[in-house]
Amino acid sequence: MTVRTPAVLLLVVLVAALTAAPGQAAAPTVDLTGGGQTSAGKSLSFASKTNASLGASHVVELRGVDLKRSPRSSFVQPDYKDPRTCSKQPCSWSITSRVPIDYEFRAFLVDPSNGAASAASVGVRGIWSGGAQPHDFKLFVNGRNMKLNALESVDEYLPVKAGKLRVEARWATDARRTPYSVVIATTEPRKATWATCTAGTSCLVPKLVPIGKDQEMSWTVSVLTKKGRQLVIGYQVCLVGRA
């Protein structure tokens, strides 16, 4: 009995034979392991290996993108690029963040002469959690609960009556028991910090702030580390004065 070999199978065998041809260089690859989740202030370890020869023609870079950032960055222009490139295996990095962040990391095989990447690993998650911190924010202007948007989001101007504004932020979790403070500020018509609160669940701007007819004013509520004053998260509300 004659068994006919399907044409598709013959094609697969032919491709496999060509791929395994002696002397043909394998495509460069790079992988990344490690990461995970820890607390802010502690370190996470990452390791990478590649089938390419490292040295003058190839190095391995570690890059990271902030998953909470909007719009999100690309790995071409990442939020983080470790200055310690690896030119000799094994490649390893230890990274510490003093603030809560959520990143995706990838290893890149790079030509150091021109920065061109020839291979990239799959993504590895790195999360530094901050534990308890002020959250569930509300901003009241003259007693009215105003809609908060993320920092650097599209400006959405809400009308308020021209005159003097009483501004107060409220949130959950007492800031006294955390390493964070809450800051109320404006970015327009001028940049100014109006109140900084390190304890409690509310923060009141100590004086009334005037807004004129047709005047635009942007307020921000931000969570900063008490030590180093690094931004953890922030919100904004944009106002316009109306008669």
The pLDDT tens digits of the residues spanning 19-42 come to: 444 556 689 999 999 999 888 888
Q: Using CA atoms, how far apart are residues 77 and 104, in angstroms rounded to an integer?
A: 13
Arithmetic mean of pLDDT over the chain: 87
Reported as a pLDDT band with limits 50, 70 and 90, residue 11 is very low
Domains and CATH numbers, the chain: 27-129 (2.60.40.10), 135-242 (2.60.40)
65 residue type, one letter? V
C-alpha distances (whole Å) from 98 to each of 84, 162, 173 are 19, 42, 20
Place of tokens 């061109």: 116
- Flag whether pLDDT at 44 surpasses 90: yes
Place of tokens 């316009």: 240
The answer to whether 46 and 122 are in contact (CB under 8 A) is no
C-alpha distances (whole Å) from 182 to each of 14, 99, 178, 220 are 66, 15, 11, 10
Question: pLDDT exceeding 70 applies to what percent of the chain?
Answer: 88
Retrieve residue 59's tokens: 């190095």
- Express each pLDDT in 57-74 by its tens digit: 999 999 999 988 878 889
Question: pLDDT exceeding 90 applies to what percent of the chain?
Answer: 66
